[in-house]
Amino acid sequence: NELHSPALSLFVPCPNATHNIGSNRDKWVPRPSATSQRQLAMFTFLGKLVASIALRHKSPLVLDFPSLIWKQLLNRPVDIADLAGVDVPLANTLKLMRTADAAAFSPDVFEEMTFTVMSSDGREVELKPGGRDIPVTFETRLEWAQLVEQYRLNEYKREVDCMRQGSGSAFPLGALSLASWSEFELLVSGTPSIDIDTLKRHTQYGGYEESDGVVKSFWRVLEKLKPDEQSLFVRFASGRSRLPASASDWGNDFEINKMRTPRGQSPDAFLPLAHTCFFSIDLPNYSSDAVLRERLLYAVNHCVSIDADYNARNIQSYDDTL
C-alpha cells in the first residue's frame, strides 16, 4: 500500500482508474516525471526487492501493475492492446484516427489539437520540437497517432529500466526467458486473494432478496471457484482484480440485480451482465448451481465482450456465443 500511494510519489493510478473505465482500474504505473537521481535509485531498489523477496525467497510482493509494465520488466515488446489496458479512451481515439475517413470527422475536431499528448501523470508533453505550436490536421493525423502511441508505450522506460537493472543484480532474469508476463506477475505477486465474506458484507440486492435461491446459489458457486477465478469475477464486475484493502476504501457496495429476461425464454439462456462503473451485475434467475457456474465462468473469461459500461458489443444470450 505504501508503494501504491502518494507517499513516495513513485507511482500513479493508470488513466483507466482515473477515468473509471475499462480494465485494470486498480493498477498503478510509474510516474513518468519521477526521474530525479533519488527517485531512479528508489526504482532500482524496488527491483532488488522484487528479485530478493519474491523471486529468490518466493514471498509474494503485491505490485498492481498492468501488462504494459510486466512485459517491459521482462524486456518484451508492447503494443496498442497494452496501451488500452491502461488508457482505453486514448486507444480508442488512436483507432478512430487511423481507420475513419474524412467524413467521420466534424470540422472542429482538429481545431485545438496540436502535436502534444497528456502523460499518465497529467503533464502536457510535446511530441516533436515546437509541438505545442504545430496544429494537427486530417492529413497529419496518422503522424500524430504514431507519435502518441510511441510516447505512451515508452513513457515509463527510465523507471522500468531501473527496476529491471535492480532485479537483474539479484536474480538471473534470463531464467525467466520462457515465462509469459502473466506468469511473471504470479511469481512476484501471487494470486489475488478474494475475501468472500467481506464481499457479502458489502453487497446489496435489486429485485432479489438475500434469501432467494439464485442468490444462495451464486454465493455457493463463487465460494467454490479457484482463487484466480474469483479474481476474474471481481475484475468482471468492477474492472479491478482485488477488493478494496480496507472498509474506508469501498466506494460503491457490490450490487446483484435481477436480470429481466424476455417473456417465454429461459433465464438459463442468458449470461450475467456487468456494469463496472457501478460494481454491479445483472444476474438471471438460473435454475441450478451447475448452470450458474457455467454461465458465470464464461462471463468472467470474456469480460471485455459483455461489460455494458466498456464495450458496445453487448452479448447477453449464451447461445449467441456458441
Handedness of CA 209, 210, 213, 214 (dihedral sign): positive
Q: What are the start-end ranges of the H helices in 32-100?
A: 37-49, 67-73, 80-84, 88-99
User: pTM of the prediction?
Assistant: 0.73
CB 83 within 8 A of CB 91: yes
The DSSP output letter for 11 is E
| CA separation for the pair 278, 80 (Å, rounded) | 27
What pLDDT, on the 0 to 100 scale, is given for residue 311? 45
Could you give the angle at which helices 289-300 and 213-224 cross, rounded to 10 degrees? 60
CB 192 within 8 A of CB 241: yes
Residues making up the chain, counted from first to last? 322
Q: In the chain, what's the furthest Cα-to-Cα distance?
A: 67
Show the low-confidence residues of the chain (pLDDT under 70).
1-2, 5-6, 245-246, 249, 303-322
Catalytic residues: 277
| CA separation for the pair 111, 62 (Å, rounded) | 44
CB 162 within 8 A of CB 43: yes
What pLDDT, on the 0 to 100 scale, is given for residue 305? 39
| CA separation for the pair 29, 316 (Å, rounded) | 33
Radius of gyration of the chain (CA): 22
